[in-house]
Amino acid sequence: MDQSEQKALANIATYGLHILNVMGEDELPPFSYSIGIEKSLGLPELIVVGLGADVAQPVINECYRQMKEGGAIAPGARVADLLGGDFECVIGEVDPRHYEEYMGWALWLHKGPHFRAWQIIFPSTAGVFPWEPQASDGFRNWQPLLNA
């Protein structure tokens, strides 16, 4: 086991999760995701696509805190207090077909696709979600929905 794997396992043991951040490049958006929530709470891992690590990591940590405290976090739920201000995020299921592209370390931790994952979907600054007709193509491409 290398140092990165040891650190991930230590963070899971201490905090209940470890967060990985992947920088975007060219037309590909950045994304961040958790590993360990399924093991520590028996609840799905979390992923945010389209936000830099400086924003995504606190969003995942706050969602995890709410999950740990028994908050009503489930697919379709609107969740407040993740981004600040009056913005709510929506939770969506992640189709396992996206695990290899987006959640490689979760595949390592769970020894294959034996876990669930939820996407934290954020609105544009105008309060528009990617599935809404008024969402721009650029916004949709920057935050792909991983439910299909």
pTM, rounded to two decimals: 0.95
Number of domains in the chain: 1
Q: At 64, list the tokens.
A: 């995890």
Strand order in the sheet with 45-49: 18-22, 31-35, 45-49, 117-121, 89-93, 78-79
- Name residue, tokens 């936000």: 51
* Within a domain: 148: no
List pLDDT tens digits, range 78-103: 999 998 778 899 999 999 999 999 99
Name which of 24-33, 56-65, 95-104 the model is least confident about: 24-33
Under 8 Å between Cβ of 82 and 89: yes
Nearest-CA neighbor of 48 among 37, 35, 40, 57?
A: 57
Print the domain residue range for 79: 3-142
The pair of three-digit structure tokens given for residue 85, joined into one six-digit string: 């201000």
